[in-house]
Structures are given as structure tokens and as C-alpha cells.
């Protein structure tokens, strides 16, 4: 694997690092404390071309690659994990499936403003009783005629834990086609582009979360929502394919987010270890602290290599389910270990909001859960290697 970054990739990383340091990091603690959606940072990311990094320029994107996306997302997540996941969802879970499965009209109408940051997207697959098991969802799309007699679907159901939901303009929505059939299972899943201002769409209050508090999520209620056939994303019954292809890329995004969180925990702990003194010397001189930092640095580097490998596979257009799952699994667990050790290095100061260690600790946990739990990643990996 060639690890030499291109000039474009290096430039994307540099711009993201400067933006993260100068504009995102100074607001990160306040965003977390106030559970505030960072609208002004999202607007800036749109100006910088970050909201559709790997989308071709003809559809409003930056026209870069998945490696550039990983580099940018790591830098931003290192500063603020909430801002990072807002970016990840819009890129991986909204722009990417519309680009891959949408028709030309849908790309022009929806993808272009999403990639430019003029609209913000969300992704609605999970439900109160259907998380890892997508085929257990109960949201139903029934064929129907619209007010003007046009063909379409009436949709009823509830979606859960929808990142960006309270502030999104557009949703990539998954439903069961009606009638699904006794044995159809995932073959009935169908995807739509849902404008969030459609009559019958209602959002619940923002979730009160352990971490990534600036990334707002909520339930979405769908009560007799009519969508014309023009808003079908792909074909009826193709939704499972859309979802799985999207999540393969989405897991690369969450791996990059986890990298940023782990790196923040490591770098903040390293600086603190050089400043904090016990027994007349910096705690960085104590072997117990050095070993923690050494393990953190090694694991973060290993996670980065796995993530870049998955990104490279995606850019080459080859199947990357296993590689994405490995990257997401390892990077998320590394982030949690690094955050835990970061709190330990900070000691009592790691347990209070005056220092960033406790925020990294809270933010890290979700990376082991959303876009496929660690348990699901292990199933994906095992399934792939047993077929090799």
C-alpha cells in the first residue's frame, strides 16, 4: 500500500487542520456544554468544500477522494467530535448514496445543494425496535395516489436516533415496501429521498446524550407522508443494497472520527504529562505514564493505517466491506482505550469539565455503537474471512 499522499490530499489535510485549530477547537467545549448545533461551523465547512468532499465538482462537491475525506474528518474530529459526525453523516450517509443510486434529476435537485452545504442531510434506517436488524423495521411505504393523481407512496412509521434529524433539510429514508411478503425480509426494504418539510413529517425533541452533544439527534415521526415516485432512491426493494453500500463507506467515516477522538485524548494527555509534576518532576518522566502514551500512539497509528487502507479500497472501486468493518472496529475501540487512559493521566482533573479529557471519554463511546456496533463489525469480518 502506497502511503505517499498526493499534493491534493496534503492540501485538504492542511486546510482542515488550520480550520480545526483556529475555528473549531476554540468552540468545542462550549458546543458540548450547551448541546448546541454548530450552525456557523457547518456553514464554513460548506464554504471550504468539506460537505461533499468526494462528490464530483459537477454536483457541487470538492471532487476529491475518500483518502482526503478521512484526512479532513480526522482533523475536524480531533477538535470537536460533534462537528466531525455532522460532516460524516452529510458526506457518507447522504451525499454518497444519492450520488451512487440517484438519477440525474435527483442529483441536480438534491445532491448539489447538499454537497455545497446549502442543505444538510440525515439518514433514517434505525427504529425503536430495529437497530442492527434492519429487516425488523416497521415503517411501511404503501403505493398510493397523490393529491394531483400522481403515483407515489404513503409512509407511516417512526425512526430513532437520527443524527442531524432536528436540523436536517433532507433525509435518506428506509421503509418496508407494502406488502413485504411473508419471507421477503430485507428484500422489501426501499429507500427514498425525503424533504423534511413534507407534510406529515415531525421530529421529536433532541436526544439527551452522553457524548457528541453538539450533534443533535432525534426521533422522526412519519404520519401519512406522501412521496411521489420521483423521490424513490433506486428501485422498490433495492433499499437493503443501498443501505449496506452506504454503511460500508459510513464506517470509514466513523473510523476517521474515532481516530480524531483518540488522537485528541493522546495529544492532550501528552501535553498535560509534560506540565503536571509529582514528586518533583513531570509525570511524563514516570514509566507508567510513558507506557500509556506509547500504547496510545502505537494503536492510533495502526488504526489510521487500517482506515487509510479501507479508504484506498473504496477509491479503487473494489469491495471494501471487510476492510471498512476492520477499520471501524479497531479505530473505535482504540479511541475508547485512548480516552480512558487520557482520563487516567489527567487524574482528578480528567474527571471535571475544566479539562477536555472527560469530553473525549464521553465522545468516544458512541463510535463503538452507531453505524454498526462492534459486535456487528465482528460478524461482517467473520463472514468475509470465512468466504475467502
Express each pLDDT in 64-103 by its tens digit.
Answer: 999 999 999 999 999 999 999 999 999 999 999 999 999 9
Residues whose CB is less than 8 angstroms from the CB of residue 131 and which lie 6 or more positions away in sequence, other chains included: 160, 161
Task: Answer yes or no: are the C-beta atoms of 70 and 308 closer than 8 Å.
Answer: yes
301-312 pLDDT, tens digit each:
999 999 999 999
Write out the three cell numbers for 75: 482533523
Digit-coded pLDDT (tens) for 138-193: 999 999 998 888 999 999 999 999 999 999 999 999 999 876 554 567 888 999 99
> What is d(CA 236, CA 290) in angstroms, rounded to the nearest whole number?
56
**pLDDT given for residue 148 in this prediction:** 85
d(CA 307, CA 327) in angstroms, rounded, equals 5
Average pLDDT, whole number, for the chain? 96
Going by C-alpha positions, the residue among 129, 130, 133, 213 that lies closest to residue 166 is: 213
Going by pLDDT thresholds of 50, 70 and 90, the confidence category of residue 24 is very high
Confidence (pTM)? 0.96
Structure confidence at residue 366 (pLDDT): 98
Give the whole-angstrom CA distance, residue 241 versus residue 101.
10
What percentage of the chain carries pLDDT values higher than 70?
98
**Where do we find the cell 463507506?**
249
- CATH number, domain 7-119: 1.10.540.10
**pLDDT at position 185, please?**
72
> Which of 327, 266, 330, 257 lies closest to 297 in space, CA to CA?
266
* Band of residue 1 on the pLDDT scale cut at 50, 70, 90: low
The fold adopted by the segment(s) 122-237 is Butyryl-CoA Dehydrogenase, subunit A; domain 2 (2.40.110)
Active site residues: 371
Which residues lie closer than 8 Å to 244 by C-beta, 6 or more apart? 321
Helix (H, G, I), strand (E, B) or coil at 181: coil
For 123-141, what is each residue's pLDDT tens digit?
Answer: 999 999 888 887 789 999 9
- Upper half-sphere CA count for residue 219 (Cβ side, 13 Å): 11
Least confident among 44-53, 105-114, 128-137, 178-187 = 178-187
The alpha carbon of residue 369 and the mean position of all alpha carbons in its chain are separated, in whole angstroms, by 11
Q: Considering the chain, what percentage of its residues have pLDDT values greater than 90?
A: 92
Residue ranges per domain, the chain? 7-119, 122-237, 241-387
- By the 10 Å C-beta count (0-12 exposed, 13-18 middle, 19+ buried), 26 is classed as exposed
Residue 46 pLDDT greater than 60, yes or no: yes
Other beta carbons within 10 angstroms of residue 285's beta carbon come to 14
Per DSSP bridges, beta strands 189-195 and 170-177 are antiparallel
What are phi and psi for residue 114, nearest 5 degrees? -65, -45
Q: What is the pLDDT of residue 136?
A: 85
Q: If DSSP codes are grouped into helix, strand and coil, which group holds residue 319?
A: coil
pLDDT of residue 130: 83
Q: What are phi and psi of 247, to 5 degrees?
A: -70, -30
- pLDDT of residue 323 exceeding 70: yes
CATH architecture of 241-387: Up-down Bundle (1.20)
Q: What is the pLDDT of residue 134?
A: 77
C-alpha 241/C-alpha 233 separation (Å) is: 11
Output DSSP code: residue 133. Answer: -
Amino acid at each position: 500500500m502506497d502511503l505517499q499522499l498526493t499534493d491534493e490530499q496534503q492540501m485538504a489535510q492542511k486546510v482542515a487542520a488550520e480550520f480545526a485549530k483556529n475555528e473549531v477547537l476554540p468552540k468545542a467545549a462550549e458546543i458540548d456544554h450547551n448541546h448546541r448545533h454548530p450552525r456557523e461551523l457547518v456553514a464554513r465547512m460548506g464554504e471550504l468544500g468539506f460537505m461533499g468532499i468526494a462528490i464530483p465538482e459537477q454536483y457541487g462537491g470538492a471532487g476529491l477522494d475518500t483518502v482526503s475525506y478521512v484526512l479532513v474528518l480526522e482533523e475536524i474530529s480531533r477538535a470537536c467530535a460533534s462537528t466531525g459526525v455532522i460532516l460524516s453523516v452529510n458526506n457518507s450517509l447522504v451525499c454518497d448514496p444519492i450520488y451512487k443510486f440517484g438519477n440525474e434529476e435527483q442529483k441536480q435537485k438534491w445532491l448539489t445543494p447538499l454537497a455545497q452545504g446549502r442543505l444538510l442531510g440525515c439518514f433514517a434506517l434505525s427504529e425503536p425496535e430495529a437497530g442492527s436488524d434492519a429487516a425488523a423495521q416497521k415503517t411501511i411505504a404503501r403505493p398510493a395516489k397523490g393529491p394531483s393523481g400522481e403515483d407515489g407512496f404513503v409512509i407511516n412509521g417512526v425512526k430513532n436516533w437520527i443524527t442531524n434529524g432536528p436540523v436536517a433539510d433532507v433525509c435518506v429514508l428506509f421503509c418496508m415496501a407494502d406488502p413485504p411478503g411473508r419471507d421477503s425480509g430485507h428484500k422489501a426494504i426501499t429507500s427514498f429521498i425525503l424533504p423534511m418539510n413534507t407534510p406529515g413529517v415531525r421530529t421529536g425533541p433532541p436526544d439527551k446524550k452522553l457524548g457528541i452533544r453538539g450533534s443533535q439527534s432525534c426521533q422522526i415521526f412519519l404520519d401519512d407522508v406522501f412521496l411521489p415516485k420521483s423521490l424513490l432512491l433506486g428501485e422498490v426493494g433495492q433499499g437493503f443494497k443501498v443501505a449496506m453500500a452506504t454503511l460500508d463507506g459510513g464506517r470509514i467515516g466513523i473510523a476517521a472520527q474515532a481516530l480524531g477522538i483518540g488522537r485528541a485524548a493522546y495529544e492532550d494527555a501528552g501535553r498535560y504529562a509534560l506540565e503536571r509534576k509529582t514528586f518533583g518532576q513531570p509525570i511524563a518522566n514516570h514509566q507508567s505514564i510513558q507506557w500509556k502514551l506509547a500504547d496510545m500512539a502505537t494503536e492510533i497509528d495502526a488504526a489510521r493505517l487500517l482506515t487509510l487502507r479501507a479508504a484506498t479500497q473504496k477509491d479503487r472501486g473494489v469491495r471494501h466491506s471487510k476492510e471498512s468493518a476492520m477499520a471501524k472496529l479497531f479505530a473505535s475501540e482504540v479511541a475508547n482505550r485512548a480516552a480512558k487512559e487520557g482520563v487516567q493521566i489527567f487524574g482528578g482533573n480528567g474527571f471535571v469539565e475544566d479539562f477536555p479529557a472527560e469530553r473525549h471519554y464521553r465522545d468516544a463511546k458512541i463510535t463503538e455503537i452507531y453505524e454498526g456496533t462492534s459486535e456487528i463489525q465482528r460478524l461482517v469480518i467473520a463472514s468475509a474471512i470465512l468466504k475467502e
